[in-house]
Structure 1
Amino acid sequence: MDNQEALQRTLNRACRALQILEEEKASFGIRVPVDLQIELEEKQKEVTSLEARLSQLQEKHPASVPDNLPRYNDVFVGRKQEIARCLEALSPEERGWGVAIDGIGGMGKTALALEVAHDARKQALFDAYLFVSAKTTWLSSEGVREETLALSSLDSFCREFAKGLGQTDIVKMTNSTERRRALLDALRGRRTLLIWDNLETLNAEEREMIGEFLRKLPTPNKAIITSRRRTGESALTIRLDRLSEAEALELMQAKGRSHTHLAQELNATKPEILTALYEASGGNPLALDWTLGQVAHKGYSISVALERLRNAAKSRDLYGFLFADAAKTLSESDRTVLSALVVFLTPAKTAALADATDLAITEIQVSLERLVTLSLVNDLDGERFGLHPLTRTYIRAAVGGTDTVGTAPLSGIWFDSGAQRKVLRYWVDFAQKYGGYDKDAYKTYDKLEAEWQNLEGVATTLREMAGIPGTLKDSQAAQMLIDLENALYNFLFFRGYWDERVRLSEWRYQAGKALSQWSDAGWGAYNVAWIYYNRAETDRAASWAAQMAEAMERGGNRRDKGVAIRLQGVIAEQRQDWAEAERLYQEALAIYRELEDEECEAIVLNDLGGVTRKQGQYDRAESYYKQALAIEEKREDKQGQAIYCNNLGLLALNRDRSTEASLWYERGLALAQEVGRQDLVASAQVGLALVLEEEGHYTDALPLALAALEIQERLRAQDLDWTRQLVERLRGKAGIE
């Protein structure tokens, strides 16, 4: 036995050294130095060899310590904080019976329990270590395997624990109540760690009886339980959440060391794809393992395996294993709340869910409590609730789908597509309430900014439901998409979401065509064209302008046709075809004056000011600009005033009137900042920088030019190259490298 004890001490030292090396490796992320990796692998081999020698000695000289802990052969990464908290809860100083580990399926609850138990054994915290599981299914890359010998009751757990302790008399008892009492008596005076695995498979009565048993567990015995259902009475509760991205990448690399093809795929895959895999899996170790298994064992590329992970119907083994059993227990209100949370891409508060679903607050609170207990919903700080990415994928597929995942259909039986549609309508109404185009709309754009992630997600969902581009599948969804874009397009332009505006406006165009609503299609085309014009992508702008004109000819009113004519003039001006531009502007101006549309009249007067200024006709330009400004002052439209003040500032610079230019630009900047329109802010900043440059104040001009450049780079604005040149010129004049 002396040799065995000495070997154990050597092994303990080697394990501590290995742990230090692993922590050092983790600090480097995925860029591990070669010498550290070699040293780590050598230490791992040393530990494996020592464990094998110790195992041989123990077979010759069986230890008296009851111990049936499974050897966890898979890769274990991260969870250092959770391990430390668990070990602290298992110490004799803690009064609770131990640790309850809960969380969504596949988060590594069993793995963590075993890792903690093995660490406790290394530290000799207990005299016995007993593991018993109620696990009924196992997931591998080949599919779900059934466990026919799984335990299903407190009494069966007690039998196994008694057997592990060598208490054959307790095993032979016929009365289950007496067996429980006898086991508790047998544990008195002992230091035993009991691991109860996968308790969610037991019925509610059995789980309640286990809770009562654990409350009576005599100290200093402790227990660890794992379950997808939240429990944790009189114990430390660890809700196991996602791995960090660094830990997930470490897990991927560790898996790759065991499979040549997987290692090759990992090395050949772009980092952004690996990040996308991490995001789609939600940092779930089982989902990552399953996805990597598709690569290692079935020869898929990582990109293909990622697409399968994102498609619940094509990954029914995984999603059925994770969610099917829980789905069977849900009430109608539970399903409604889950369907609503799918649409909320940011955590939702109870009040917002009530507004979106028409359920009573009390109904929502009861459902949320149940869904949190089932680990289907995460309760977050600030009384907010959200979904894990895998849960979201499952529920999205289950709302109105046509396939099945495990025993839970993806056909709407479990989840009501009407509830999802109601929440989508809630967000469209939200956009219409706080968006729009009128002169004061900018005052509520902060509310849209705060919810932009949700609004963008709603747009994507509506497009998918509508089936565009292609055969129209859902006309109601297509109309909601049009309504959403119409409410948001001006906000997107003001706040610098230009790429997003292009995308949503294209979808509006497609939806309008699908519904034969040609005015809507035309306005979608216009909104796309306007971004391309502002980026000086003239050919693209012209293409979309032509599509707008065609749509307006089929279904637009006279004002719509005037807008199409004016857009053609803008493009002609960008091509420096001054005569054609002025002709088109005058044609559009006549239409707007006939319709008594002062807003559009001011816009075209400004256009005429621009085309005449570029031809050096400064007096005519000033007249047009000031007529436009007077209209917007009368209308109290601050956005229009900002535009025309900036243009009058530019005109003053053209005339070498720097003092006058400064006044116009200062007024334009204040107005642009008030309404929050980013391109106008940049335009005024550039103008003021030019004034300061002309006055020789280069160091004062440079910050303004840099601020403008930052905005224009984000927008990819048409003046971007010119502003870059201004910045470089000012750097040189200010003597700044």
Structure 2
Amino acid sequence: MQGILEVLLSALPEAIGGLIAAGIVALLSYLFVKRLRKEPVAVNENNEITAQPPAPQIFSNLPPGTEFIGRKKEIERVKEALNSRWPVICIDGIGGIGKTSLALEVTNACYRFSKSNLSDEKSDESQSSMPIFDGFIWCSAKDREMRLNDILDTVARTLDWQGIAQQPCEEKREAVNKLLRAKRYLLIVDNFETITDEDVRDFILKIPEPSKALVTSREQKLSQANAISIKGLEKDEAFNLIRKEGHRLGLKALEQADDNLLLHLYQATGGAPLAIKWAVGQIKQKGQSLDAVLKSLHEAKGDIFEEVFNKSWDLLSGEAQSILMVMPIFVSSASKEAIEAASDVHHFPLDQALGQLVEMWLVEVTDDLEEKKRRYSVHPLTRAFARSKLAAETEWGNKANERLAEFMLISLMEDNLNSEDKKNSQFASQELPNILSSAKWCFENKLWRKFIDFHIAIDKILAFGGYYDERINFGLMQNEAAKKIGEDKIAAECAVWILGWTYFQQDDLEKADHKFNEGLKYFQQVNNEWWIATTKRLAALVSREKGDFDKAEKLIQSALETFERISNSVDEKSFDKKYNYWWCREYNKSDIPNSLMTLGGIAFRKKEYKLAQEYYEKCNEIFKSFENKEQYFHSIFHLGMISLEKSQSKRAMQLFKESLKGSKEVHWIDLEADSKLGIALLKENTGEFEKAMQFSTDALKIYERLGKQRHIRKTNVLVQRLTEKISKQTAV
């Protein structure tokens, strides 16, 4: 579009004059931008178009910046580099010198200025030299091995293209490159020197214009980058930092100390901000004079941080040492309760130990007022030191991991038990990385039964939360764990419900069909009627998607006969005992209506709307009778689709609005997207293309986050169709 506008600008002056032509092109540009952002065109009382600034839409996952001292020259150098044609900028220097802090200071300032540039907000960063970007993606390799796939996922999720994260790596890389080529984004990779994946290096160096990459590294690995090397703080800046730290820790003597005295500390630390903070933390401790700290710093020389850690370690209480050693077990941050469980330090000693660690800057804590919301974390250097201590205590470390796994599992189960919505666990949403890490530790240490228990507790959250890759990976591990302990039934259940169903959601019909057949073969061997029927019901969905309606109907009819026989002969209590699967309590009453729903779906695909309606209405009555709200609202949606096909617009809108409202009540995001898509189709039929576009893009956003490929393709077709219709409508 921009190219077309440029052609117009060059051709129109000759025909109608430069000023008029420029005005026309400016108007077209304004309308085009409005259309891209799906905003109404502003007009005044005389029906004249008036430009209104677009709403802010700067994507960012930047961590918040901390108090920053000095570095004015370095800040200007980074800003200048970001404004240049250099695609990659590297901030390098020794560990603890302030590379990350500098990157955060500049990028947060750029974010604020970029955001204010899109709105009426006023920003402190009003300098014309401040770089502007459409989004900021922060990737940190501080405490984990980062591969290209991790960076691609972070880019996709930060820019709100969740569906891209579900694609294979090669397709994902191509899709992310398209995103980076479409707008001016800044990708920041922190601690680049720890990355060993050569694909990451290749990706960074080939980042497409107009986007840029900013990396921090302890090594000068990127010779092709615009390198900005930083050293220690200037003397006055370091004095300012020392005094501020003294004030924060209540060290009046240090806060009011003479410059000549502070000069020794400045020289010993080399002006490294992290070393200065640690040194002041040592002075805070009883018995540690400035002379003692200076001696330790001087003797460390190039290995300054290890020496500081060793000295700090000797000053820690036994409880504080235990807590510090467990911190590397956590993937990211940790709650106080989790730290308590892993370290086996409780009550007052726990509070005392955490206080000591925080005072010495060995552990950092968020500033939340409520204790339950506080999160504790450690700097990567501290993590490495603590990990070395933990490695020397193998037996103790294993017990700590086992205690944490037990805590995570019990907390997750209690949260599931106390929550009506088991797919929206508050505990899991806060602790998911740590939960998955504990589960993986159980698997790696051959605690097969506990791993299976973990997966049973977390599986619904992975399924309904759209963590499909994780669900596949853990499903494969569960399959192996079950076989290790001779639980062939659990392995077969996993093949059907976890692997087969997830492959189906990802539109990988062949893999889904393979897993369903694998499970069906086992259940037929052991003559498990319920699982045979359940597997057939799910396999029918694959046949339906392949267009083999005859096979789908045969499978579902066979399943339905079995469900009807079971429901007439087995009471609920004996059913749970006989068919021992963790979802049976929820699904036993729903087996028959779910089967009817599948038959309704087949009839709908065959355009037999009257028959489909009969199935859905019957399902609706059954689900309502035992208060299965999720499936009740789901059947309401399908009845809405039938009304839409029968051109019963008013009835269809009523049904879609009811299912949309219900989706929010039961926290079912899939149903929310389906309902919005239905409303979009109705709005298209009535010529309300703008409203239809809004509903369809909302639905598409959800589908992409969940990675539901079939729905993504269908909604994309609608969006494209609406775009063309809006364009024609605007032209008229």
**Aligned ranges for residues 662-677 of structure 1 at < 5 Å?**
662-677=653-668
**1:85–1:21 CA distance, 2 compared to 1 (3 A):** closer
Match of 2:179 in 1: none
* Aligned residue among 94, 97, 120 for 2:253: 97
* Aligned residue among 693, 697, 712 for 1:720: 712
Letter in 2 for 1:636: E
Match of 2:156 in 1: none
**Aligned ranges for residues 75-474 of structure 1 at < 5 Å?**
77=230, 84=237, 86-87=239-240, 96-98=252-254, 130=264, 208=287, 210=289, 333-338=319-324, 340-351=326-337, 353-354=339-340, 359-373=345-359, 375-382=361-368, 384-393=375-384, 395=386, 399=390, 409=392, 411-412=394-395, 415-435=396-416, 441-442=420-421, 445=424, 447-448=426-427, 450-451=429-430, 454-467=431-444, 473-474=445-446
Aligned counterparts of 2:610 and 2:442: Cα–Cα separation in 1 = 54
Match of 1:108 in 2: none
Matched, 1:593 2:564: yes
**1:226–1:701 CA distance, 2 compared to 1 (3 A):** farther
Letter in 2 for 1:24: E
Matched, 1:485 2:455: yes
Q: CA contact under 8 A between 1:434 and 1:441: conserved in structure 2?
A: no
Letter in 2 for 1:612: A
Letter in 2 for 1:97: A
Aligned counterparts of 2:295 and 2:662: Cα–Cα separation in 1 = 59
Letter in 1 for 2:364: N
CA deviation map 1:266-313 (0-9, x unaligned): xxxxxxxxxxxxxxxxxxxx9xx9xxxxxxxxxxxxxxxxxxxxxxxx
Shift of 1:546: 2.9
Shift of 1:537: 1.8
Aligned counterparts of 1:490 and 1:445: Cα–Cα separation in 2 = 9
Q: CA contact under 8 A between 1:528 and 1:544: conserved in structure 2?
A: yes
Q: CA contact under 8 A between 1:197 and 1:226: conserved in structure 2?
A: no
Match of 2:595 in 1: 604
Match of 1:568 in 2: 539
Letter in 1 for 2:415: Y
Aligned counterparts of 2:411 and 2:487: Cα–Cα separation in 1 = 23
CA deviation map 1:658-713 (0-9, x unaligned): 22222221111111122222221111111111112112222221110010011112
Alignment RMSD, CA only? 4.4
**Aligned ranges for residues 564-713 of structure 1 at < 5 Å?**
564-596=535-567, 597-713=588-704
Count of matched residue pairs: 482
* Aligned residue among 476, 481, 492 for 1:511: 481
Unaligned runs of 5+ in 2: 1-69, 90-219, 221-227, 270-274, 369-373, 568-587
Q: CA contact under 8 A between 1:709 and 1:720: conserved in structure 2?
A: yes
* Aligned residue among 719, 724, 728 for 1:732: 724
**1:569–1:390 CA distance, 2 compared to 1 (3 A):** farther
Unaligned runs of 5+ in 1: 1-17, 38-73, 101-116, 136-194, 215-223, 229-285, 290-316, 402-408, 468-472
Aligned counterparts of 1:560 and 1:394: Cα–Cα separation in 2 = 51
Aligned counterparts of 2:596 and 2:242: Cα–Cα separation in 1 = 75
Range 385-394 or range 349-358, more displaced: 349-358
Range 595-604 or range 550-559, more displaced: 550-559
Letter in 1 for 2:724: G
Shift of 1:615: 1.7
Aligned counterparts of 1:196 and 1:388: Cα–Cα separation in 2 = 15
Shift of 1:582: 0.8
CA deviation map 1:448-477 (0-9, x unaligned): 4631xx32333234324423xxxxx42x3x
Aligned counterparts of 2:350 and 2:241: Cα–Cα separation in 1 = 36
Aligned counterparts of 1:422 and 1:564: Cα–Cα separation in 2 = 37
Aligned counterparts of 1:464 and 1:416: Cα–Cα separation in 2 = 12
**1:22–1:614 CA distance, 2 compared to 1 (3 A):** closer
Shift of 1:507: 2.7
Shift of 1:607: 0.6
TM value normalised by structure 1: 0.57
Matched, 1:521 2:491: yes
Shift of 1:590: 1.9
**1:330–1:375 CA distance, 2 compared to 1 (3 A):** same
Shift of 1:530: 1.6
**1:659–1:411 CA distance, 2 compared to 1 (3 A):** same
Aligned counterparts of 1:522 and 1:634: Cα–Cα separation in 2 = 32
Larger of the two Rg values belongs to structure: 1
Aligned counterparts of 1:197 and 1:734: Cα–Cα separation in 2 = 59
Task: Give the 3-state SS of the residue equivalent to 2:518 in structure 1.
Answer: helix
Aligned counterparts of 1:345 and 1:588: Cα–Cα separation in 2 = 44
Task: Give the 3-state SS of the residue equivalent to 1:616 in structure 2.
Answer: coil
Aligned counterparts of 2:424 and 2:722: Cα–Cα separation in 1 = 35
CA deviation map 1:11-62 (0-9, x unaligned): xxxxxxx98654421224567668xx9xxxxxxxxxxxxxxxxxxxxxxxxx
Shift of 1:78: 7.4
Aligned counterparts of 1:483 and 1:648: Cα–Cα separation in 2 = 38
Task: Give the 3-state SS of the residue equivalent to 2:590 in structure 1.
Answer: helix
Q: CA contact under 8 A between 1:133 and 1:198: conserved in structure 2?
A: no
Range 684-693 or range 544-553, more displaced: 544-553
Task: Give the 3-state SS of the residue equivalent to 2:421 in structure 1.
Answer: helix
**1:450–1:375 CA distance, 2 compared to 1 (3 A):** same
Shift of 1:570: 1.5
Aligned counterparts of 1:481 and 1:388: Cα–Cα separation in 2 = 30
Aligned counterparts of 1:572 and 1:196: Cα–Cα separation in 2 = 66
* Aligned residue among 62, 78, 81 for 1:26: 78
Q: CA contact under 8 A between 1:685 and 1:705: conserved in structure 2?
A: yes
Shift of 1:493: 3.0
**1:81–1:557 CA distance, 2 compared to 1 (3 A):** farther
**1:558–1:347 CA distance, 2 compared to 1 (3 A):** same
Q: CA contact under 8 A between 1:196 and 1:226: conserved in structure 2?
A: no
**1:210–1:416 CA distance, 2 compared to 1 (3 A):** same
Aligned counterparts of 2:422 and 2:394: Cα–Cα separation in 1 = 43
CA deviation map 1:403-449 (0-9, x unaligned): xxxxxx2523xx4421221111211222222338x9x7327715146
**1:563–1:322 CA distance, 2 compared to 1 (3 A):** farther
Q: CA contact under 8 A between 2:366 and 2:376: conserved in structure 1?
A: yes
Q: CA contact under 8 A between 1:598 and 1:631: conserved in structure 2?
A: no
Letter in 2 for 1:98: L
Aligned counterparts of 1:548 and 1:226: Cα–Cα separation in 2 = 68
Letter in 2 for 1:731: T
